[in-house]
Amino acid sequence: MKPTSISEKNWARFKIIILALFVVLALLSIRFTRVGELFSPGVLRTYVDAAGLWAPLAFILFYSTGVCLFVPGTLLTGIGAAIFGPYLGFVYVWLGAMVGSSAAFFIGRTLGRDFAASLVGERLKRFDEAIARNGFAAVLYLRLIYFPFSVMNFGMGLTAVRFLDYFLGTALGILAGTFIFTFFIGNLVEIWTTGNWGQLISYKVFFSIALFVLSLFIPKAVKKIRGEP
C-alpha cells in the first residue's frame, strides 16, 4: 500500500531510486564480491551436482537469479549445456531464462513503471501506446535481433507492454538462439569429456556448427525482412 504522507510522484521517485540501487548493487556484487564466484562454471557445477535429483531445479534457480543480477546469459547458457548436454540443457536453460526474464520484468514494472509513466510526454506517449498495442511483435523482434537480454527484461517493465505479450514474445524469441547455442556447446563438451575425438567429424558437430553460424545472421535477416538498413 502506498504511504499517504507523500505524493504519488514522490512515491514513484522513491521506487525508481530503489530500482537504480538494485541495479547498481547487482552489478557491483557480481563484479567485486564473492557473489560473482557462485556463477563461475566450476562452482556452479559443484552446487548443481550436489543437488542430485533436484539438479535441474537448482540450475533453473541459479540461472534465473543470474539473469536478475546481470550475469551474462551466454555464460549461464554455456554452463547449462556443459552440465546437462545439448537437449536437456536447452530445456533447463530456456526455463531458467523465462523465469529470470519474468522476474526482472516484474521488478522493473513494480519499481520503475510509475516514474517512467510520469516522464512520458506527448511524443513518448504515442510510442508507449504503440508498444502496448503491438507488445508481442515488439518483444519478439527485439529478442530475435539479440537485444541485450537483461537490459531488455528490466526495460520492458518500464513500458506499457502487457506481461502476457512480453512473456510470449520472449518465449518464442529466445527459442531458436537458445537451442542453437546449447546444441553447439553441449555437443562439443560431450566430445571433450568422452575423449571420442573422432566425433569431431560427425554430422552432429557439423550440424551444430552450421546452426551456430546461421544464428549469427538471424538479426540481419530479421532487419532485412522489416526493411531496415
Q: How far is CA 74 from CA 1, 146, 207, in A?
A: 38, 11, 20
Question: Strand locations in the chain, DSSP E?
Answer: none
Task: Give tens-digit pLDDT for 1-46.
Answer: 444 445 777 888 889 899 999 999 988 888 787 777 777 777 777 8
Phi-psi region of 121 (alpha: psi -120 to 50; beta: other; left: phi over 0): beta
Task: Please give the share of the chain, as a percent, with pLDDT higher than 90.
Answer: 36
Mean pLDDT to the nearest integer, 101-127: 81
Query: Is 90 exceeded by the pLDDT of residue 66?
Result: yes
